[in-house]
Amino acid sequence: MCGIAGEISPRLKKQTAMEDYQLEMQRELWRRGPDQRGFFSDDGAALIHTRLSVIDLENGLQPMTRDGYTIVYNGELYNTDDIRNRCKERGVVFSTASDTEVVLRAYMELGEDCLNLFNGIFAFAVWNGHELFVARDRMGVKPFFYAETGGGFVFASSVAALLRHKDIKPIIDIGSVKELFLIGPGRTPGCGVLKGIKELPPACCGMVKDGKLNYRKYWELRQREHTDTLPQTIERTRELVVSAIKRQLVSDIPIFTFLSGGLDSSIISAVAAKELAARGKELHTYSVDYVDNGKYFTPGKFQPNSDEAYINMMNSFLGVTNHRILIDTPELTQALFEAVDARGLPGMVDVDSSLLVFAREIKKNFSVGLSGECADEIFGGYPWYRDETIRMAEGFPWSQSTMYRYSFLRPELQSLIAPQDYVSERYYKTVSEAHKLSGNSPTDDRMKEMMRLNFDWFMQTLLGRKDFMTMYSGVEARVPFCDISIVEYMYSVPWDYMNYEGREKGLLRKAMEGLLPEEVLWRKKSPYPKTHNPGYLKAVSGLLREVIEDSGSPLLSLADKAALEGLFTADKAQPWYGQLMTTPQTIAYMLQINYWMRKYDVKVEI
């Protein structure tokens, strides 16, 4: 995994040294790739790279040039050997064992059709001497932001790196306000929040010509006729999940797994432990908790029990070495601002910052790990898949709070925005794009819509969180449940099968019988662990009071002061985004917006 950036412009001439702004872009990315740095220059192009060495540590240097083609690549291919062998059959000779060379040679041989062969997570750009080809993986695991700058094209792995370019200015327009307050921390697909900054959507590729990117979708999530019986579906699900995990254990350096004691991370840890043991290696697992969480935890609808007992059970069952990372409130609060540095945008507040602190500790021993993200989106684990009232409600199920969000804006901004229209337009567009077969039941049709909503929106926020928070410390987090073979198969499975025995992720649980202890296998879903310490609410409230009292706080140019003060006396936990972001997190989100605007000197032009 790496950081990539570059620029295509007729003003560029071949150079022997980087210009100051190019160095700054590279420095912004060095945390993503702390092991090596590279630069390529040509008439019309400059490519920048920072590398986290995982495969072929000595020979996978970038930018990599072969026969007039140069690539910068961020990601991992899990079927590298298959593609290398296909290329060899066409007479291609390889000089390294790196997947970077395989990606480059495959593109040189097959053009954009090579993307149909790739099983992996990636964002890359290839310069052929006069044009730039760019592509992003199907699920959107790896980021790719860009801006078109008057005849030039600039791209990078993060918004923060783009902002180091001399021609890109951090400006908020009315569209930015809508994204921050009505959609955030999610983002409309393709939107980079700041004026003029965009993101290449998942499963898209394109060519840059005359400073403009023309891109297309090279893959779509489509329903196919499902002919497998229930027993066959159970067996096939197990095969797909186990093989995906095994594929993603490829590495020339040691691998760990994240372990919360929940179903998804436990499945990954169980398969990884067995596979590594067969290679004569031991698995290390990492778990996170918060100071005094046991003291303040109260069971609820979305989190019926704490994780500790299940973590202990899994570690004992697998016989692995577990590392516990304990986070205290001051550290969690301070990391809210580092999390903005990592994203380059406001994000999921303490859900982000806790992972950032967690990854920083992990990096002391490991650089590559497997994580359980996306199983809930793919196997129907969230409450909004299961509660019929929520499932049938119009609008994004994780954010039924449009007017609440709108209420925080200054009155003069409210007058410029039709909040329900903005959100509804995006919701209905996504729902209309869900592919369905004729003959589906109404429930199956709605489930296809729910899966498309989750794939295009909620899952993207979580994948961004995982990438930015881990890569900020140079930790590569792989997500086996995002494997394309699992995704394509599960989208076509009928809901009656997915909902085996009326349990969330029932099919996945049944498929994994015998792999986990029964108590873990059938444990009720529990979300990512968050702090329950009341000291956190007190800490973020104190910081927001300081922001409100400072008339120069940039947040106050967008948010209504009285509405912000109302957060201190809120008598109910109004969700902002999903089940993990309520009043303390709403306060923290406002802090992140303020910090972000001040850090990047964001200008408001409305």
* Positive/negative CA dihedral, 204, 209, 210, 216: negative
Report helix, strand or coil for 397. Answer: coil
Which tokens hold the place of 197? 């900054």
Structure token pair of residue 154: 């600039």
Non-local (6+) Cβ contacts of 562 within 8 A are none
Phi, psi of 478 (to 5 degrees): -100, 150
**Distance (Å, rounded) from C-alpha 255 to C-alpha 76?**
14
Between CA 157 and CA 508, with CA 82 as vertex, the angle to 5 degrees is 75
Three-state SS at 362? helix
Strand arrangement of the beta sheet that strand 197-199 belongs to: 36-42, 45-51, 2-8, 153-156, 145-148, 197-199
For residues 442 and 495, the answer to whether their CB atoms sit within 8 Å is: no
The secondary structure element, H or E, covering residue 535 is: helix 534-549
Question: What region, left, alpha or beta, does residue 552 occupy, with left being phi > 0 and alpha being psi -120 to 50 degrees?
Answer: alpha
Compute φ and ψ for 384, nearest 5 degrees: -75, -10
H-assigned helices in 60-142: 80-89, 99-110
Distance separating alpha carbons of residues 121 and 126, to the nearest angstrom = 16
Give the N- to C-terminal CA distance of the chain in Å, as an integer.
38
Catalytic residue, candidates 2, 204, 205, 374: 2
Residue 464 DSSP SS3: helix
Count the neighbouring beta carbons within 10 Å of the beta carbon of residue 94: 14
564-572 contact pairs (CB < 8 A, 24+):
564/408, 564/590, 567/541, 568/541, 568/544
C-alpha–C-alpha distance, residues 486 and 241, integer Å: 7
* 476-478 β-sheet, strand order: 321-327, 284-290, 255-258, 368-370, 476-478
Tell me which residue has tokens 């809210």: 336
> Which residues are within 8 A (CB) of 260 and not within 5 positions of it... i.e. 6 or more apart?
287, 288, 307, 310, 311, 372, 526, 528, 529
- Do 467 and 76 meet the contact criterion of CB atoms below 8 Å apart? no
| Whether 2 is catalytic | yes
Q: What residues are annotated to the active site? A: 2
